[in-house]
Amino acid sequence: MHIQIHAINKLKSGPEYDLCQTYLKRMTWTVKINEIQIKNTHSSKQQESQEILKSLSPQQSLILLDEKGKDLTTEQLLSLIISIHMNDHKIPTFAIGGAEGHTQELKKKAAQTISFGRQTWPHKLVRVMLIEQLYRCQSLAQGHPYHKA
């Protein structure tokens, strides 16, 4: 299984980076992270969304992370990933925006918009949470005891 994550800004060394690496090392699924760097340090969500759109291919099915998205259980997230992979024959591709979120244009391109709750999370933590959930989905799919729901 191949999964992609498109995230604004590079995750530099630190606790969030270390946690991401811990989960990525455990994964047997292939997870590619495309860190989108915007040269303008005061980038707008329009610039960020345009860069995400430019980085997508027709083989990808876009899943946005947004606080106004649908709350999914881990089982529902796994079903979504499998459906995109097996039924649509596309690569599940998650997009984590910057502080201002995503534009309406990008939201219209998304197959699904999901949330990790109604709270506002720093995008560094969202990346950790997403990668942990992907690892949990993989564990659930493989019957591994990590997922104990």
- What CATH number is attached to the domain comprising 74? 3.40.1280.10
- Residues of the domain holding 35: 2-141
Residue 23 domain flag: yes
* Total domains, the chain: 1
Split at pLDDT 50, 70, 90, the class of 146 is confident
The angle at the Cα of 53, spanning 31 to 42, to the nearest 5 degrees, equals 100
Q: Is residue 147 part of a domain?
A: no
Q: What is the rounded distance in angstroms from the CA atom of residue 102 to the CA atom of residue 60?
A: 18
3 state DSSP class of 28: coil
Confidence of residue 18 (pLDDT cuts 50, 70, 90): very high
Domain-located, residue 7: yes
**pLDDT at residue 149 is higher than 60:** no
Portion of the chain with pLDDT greater than 90, in percent: 70
User: Would you say residue 56 lies in a domain?
Assistant: yes
Q: Supply the pLDDT for residue 144.
A: 83
Does residue 146 lie in a domain region?
no
Residues 110-148 as b or e (16 or more Cβ within 10 Å = b): bbbbbbbeeeebebbebbbbbbebbbbbbbbeeeeeebe
* Cβ atoms of 127 and 19 closer than 8 Å: no
Does some domain include residue 135?
A: yes
Question: In this structure, is residue 29 part of a structural domain?
Answer: yes
Helix (H, G, I), strand (E, B) or coil at 14: coil
pLDDT per residue as tens digits for the range 71-110: 999 999 999 999 999 999 999 999 998 888 899 999 999 9
Q: Measure the CA–CA gap between 98 and 111, rounded to whole angstroms.
A: 20
Q: What is the mean pLDDT of the chain?
A: 91
pLDDT at site 41: 61
Is residue 149 in a domain? no
User: 3-state class of 120 per DSSP?
Assistant: coil
pLDDT at 73: 95
